[in-house]
Chains A and B, each alone.
Chain A
């Protein structure tokens, strides 16, 4: 496996994110660790409320980190950082949001929406240079430059999502957090946006953190998938391996509910229900361990033995 040789672009180490008062915190993310390699698409799957978006937002420095650290290209970007690093992180790490209907400013024209980031990071630009950048960004996502003078309500859902992609591209990012970028879109437009994202990845060597709850899309787009449940990662593996040999009962349950466009198997389908009480973690707390190269799972010593046997079968 060449995995060890690849460059790590982002590294999350023992991340904790708490909300609420300090005395009675709500632990949204508990002790999460993973590495994302340069140029890959890393999928993060979980139910709503599992903390997947919180991790994405912590990477973007929107939520403060309560414990652990986040390293970007080897430098710590969580907590207090220098102004230069902050500037670098702001332009190199960008986000694409879920709902194209609510993530664009309804009162601003497309040229302002797309250019907004550059007003902060590229102050020296003249009006013309900025307009050229906007035109290029729109062309890159398959829209026409004349759209710049229109308002968001004049566009369809798919076009709006492209505008959302254009405004992150203009910052020349290297790492993009895509938070459910296609969940709100129609089937046919989904395919277009997925194709656009993978085309941009190939052309610019982008790295994606792809957050979604739909495993069927994940299998297609992600190189590796991490499954999160109640703020903890429960399993992490290359996509095909995760689908072929899921180990953790939560992953198995999640895979069992993925709808497939196949009426025969849908009718005979058995839905597995995840019951957290199967774990006996009171005396033997769970650890995050690599059972086979590249395949991590959360479990205590007794479970780990079973997982290892299952993985090597």
Chain B
């Protein structure tokens, strides 16, 4: 009886193998709540957030510091700080063989076989994510040994292959060197090599280029794109640099105060943004500024997440906020099948508010 109908996962797998349906989720977050205990008070860092990550895409998550981008992603690899906990919701991971709810994982034992092998992460600062006392080779070997159970010469060869794969020349020699002998960009390549060592399905990149120069940044972004194609990775890209987002993202999620306020394809979010917070973020870009005039800046500070938030979290900082924004939280309004935003402005009863003038000519500005 069970054999007659193929399981849900088999269906998904078959369709991905045919390549006809890339729009299947690999990760599905539903009404996730994450809280932190801080000095006897509770901070509500992620406020019933839902998002789907599709197989093979690059999803960029943008937002100010403190909006919860990193906290959200730490849930996916079980690295939430000790005082943080999931207070409801689920994180479904559609693996090759089964669907697992990461929100139900208890302790390190559950995570050990999962972290690195299914989902892996690259952190912002390549200077601090490597151990300065160990050679580059041994740090990569550690990841390969644990997950692929290789030893001796096989291990060495695998390490050299990984170094070669991330574009480090002369891997035999470089593997014997220490992190201080590498430049910032090269160190980030090593970190990427460690992250892909166990062939993960999802790679989370948390501000991987923020500490780097523009030239090196371009190289690292290209490397990530290449690896994505070669290893069929799904990438979640966290950044506050909208230029980088435009470069790498298939879809963009804008985060504010622990929730995603707008999500859509890169084109939709950049050329047709709907949420006032997205407008504000785009308007404050120096690239769009006119010399001699004041640059748009978002007034005020992000809301206090210790207190419950009433209405639209961005309303107090939004000069054009509607009355209802202070009373009731807006639901998602669909702009297109791939584009939705949480703002009352999209309600048919709302007055028509035009986005600011200067963000209308983003299209084509890269060529000017």
**Which residues does A use to contact B, with CB under 8 Å?**
47-48, 156-157, 186-192, 194-195, 198-199, 213-217, 219-221, 239, 253-254, 257-267, 269, 271
Contact yes or no, B365 A190, CB < 8 A? no
Contact yes or no, B297 A192, CB < 8 A? yes
Contact yes or no, B294 A195, CB < 8 A? yes
Distance (whole angstroms) from the CB of A31 to the closest CB of chain B: 23
Contact yes or no, B364 A188, CB < 8 A? no
Known A188-B297, A257-B214; contact A220-B267, beta-carbon cutoff 8 A: no
Distance (whole angstroms) from the CB of B296 to the closest CB of chain A: 6
* Interface status of B246 (Cβ within 8 A of chain A): yes
From the candidates A156, A265, A271, name the one contacting B365 in the complex (CB within 8 A).
Answer: A265
Which one, B45-53, B134-142, B284-292, is touching chain A?
A: B284-292
Distance (whole angstroms) from the CB of A24 to the closest CB of chain B: 20
Contact yes or no, A48 B281, CB < 8 A? no
* Interface status of B127 (Cβ within 8 A of chain A): no
Interface size on B, residues (CB 8 A): 45
* Interface status of B14 (Cβ within 8 A of chain A): no
Distance (whole angstroms) from the CB of B25 to the closest CB of chain A: 22
Show 28 A/B contacts (Cβ-Cβ < 8 Å), sorted by A. Answer: A187-B64, A188-B280, A190-B286, A191-B284, A191-B286, A191-B295, A191-B296, A219-B287, A219-B291, A253-B215, A254-B214, A257-B217, A260-B366, A261-B242, A261-B246, A261-B287, A261-B288, A261-B362, A262-B365, A263-B247, A263-B266, A263-B270, A263-B271, A264-B267, A265-B366, A266-B243, A266-B246, A271-B218
Contact yes or no, B215 A220, CB < 8 A? no
Distance (whole angstroms) from the CB of B34 to the closest CB of chain A: 21
Chain B residues lying within 8 Å of A157, measured Cβ to Cβ, are 65
Chain A residues lying within 8 Å of B218, measured Cβ to Cβ, are 257, 259, 271
Distance (whole angstroms) from the CB of B190 to the closest CB of chain A: 18
19 new A-B contacts, CB < 8 A, other than A194-B286, A266-B366, are A186-B64, A187-B64, A188-B281, A188-B297, A191-B296, A220-B289, A257-B217, A257-B218, A258-B214, A259-B217, A260-B287, A261-B242, A261-B365, A263-B266, A264-B366, A265-B367, A266-B247, A267-B247, A271-B218
Distance (whole angstroms) from the CB of A206 to the closest CB of chain B: 15
Contact yes or no, B222 A261, CB < 8 A? no
* Interface status of B245 (Cβ within 8 A of chain A): yes
Ranked nearest first, the 10 interchain pairs of A and B with the lowest CB-CB distance are A259-B243, A265-B366, A260-B366, A191-B297, A262-B366, A191-B284, A263-B266, A257-B218, A220-B286, A261-B242
Chain A residues lying within 8 Å of B247, measured Cβ to Cβ, are 259, 263, 266-267, 269
Instruction: Give the interface SS of chain A, mostly helix, strand, loop or mixed.
Output: helix
Nearest chain A residue, comparing its CB with the CB of B241: A259
Contact yes or no, B214 A214, CB < 8 A? yes
Contact yes or no, B363 A264, CB < 8 A? yes
Contact yes or no, A47 B213, CB < 8 A? yes
Contact yes or no, B282 A261, CB < 8 A? yes
Chain A residues lying within 8 Å of B214, measured Cβ to Cβ, are 47, 213-215, 254, 257-259
Chain B residues lying within 8 Å of A254, measured Cβ to Cβ, are 214-215
Contact yes or no, A265 B364, CB < 8 A? yes
Chain B residues lying within 8 Å of A269, measured Cβ to Cβ, are 247, 366
Contact yes or no, B184 A263, CB < 8 A? no
Contact yes or no, A195 B270, CB < 8 A? no
Contact yes or no, A262 B244, CB < 8 A? no
Q: How far is the CA of A253 from the CA of B216 in the complex (A)?
A: 12
* Interface status of B298 (Cβ within 8 A of chain A): yes
Chain B residues lying within 8 Å of A48, measured Cβ to Cβ, are 184, 213
Nearest chain A residue, comparing its CB with the CB of B284: A191
Contact yes or no, B366 A195, CB < 8 A? no
Q: How far is the CA of A267 from the CA of B248 in the complex (A)?
A: 8
* Interface status of B224 (Cβ within 8 A of chain A): no
Contact yes or no, B222 A271, CB < 8 A? yes
Q: How far is the CA of A195 from the CA of B297 in the complex (A)?
A: 8
Q: How far is the CA of A156 from the CA of B267 in the complex (A)?
A: 33
Chain A residues lying within 8 Å of B294, measured Cβ to Cβ, are 195, 198-199
In chain B between 250 and 307, which residues have their CB closer than 8 angstroms to a CB of chain A? 266-267, 270-271, 280-282, 284-289, 291, 294-298, 301
Residue from the set A157, A188, A198 with the largest chain B CB neighbour count within 10 Å: A188
Known A263-B270, A264-B267; contact A221-B286, beta-carbon cutoff 8 A: yes
Contact yes or no, B240 A263, CB < 8 A? no
Residue from the set A215, A220, A239, A253 with the largest chain B CB neighbour count within 10 Å: A220
Known A213-B214, A254-B214, A262-B366; contact A194-B184, beta-carbon cutoff 8 A: no
Contact yes or no, A261 B243, CB < 8 A? yes
> What is the 8 Å Cβ interface bit string for chain B, positions 28-52, against chain A (1 contact, 0 not)?
0000000000000000000000000
Contact yes or no, B244 A259, CB < 8 A? yes
Contact yes or no, B270 A261, CB < 8 A? yes
Nearest chain A residue, comparing its CB with the CB of B289: A220
Chain A residues lying within 8 Å of B240, measured Cβ to Cβ, are 186-187
* Interface status of B249 (Cβ within 8 A of chain A): yes
Q: How far is the CA of A262 from the CA of B271 in the complex (A)?
A: 8
Distance (whole angstroms) from the CB of A99 to the closest CB of chain B: 11
Q: How far is the CA of A187 from the CA of B295 in the complex (A)?
A: 11
From the candidates B64, B217, B295, B363, name the one contacting A262 in the complex (CB within 8 A).
Answer: B363
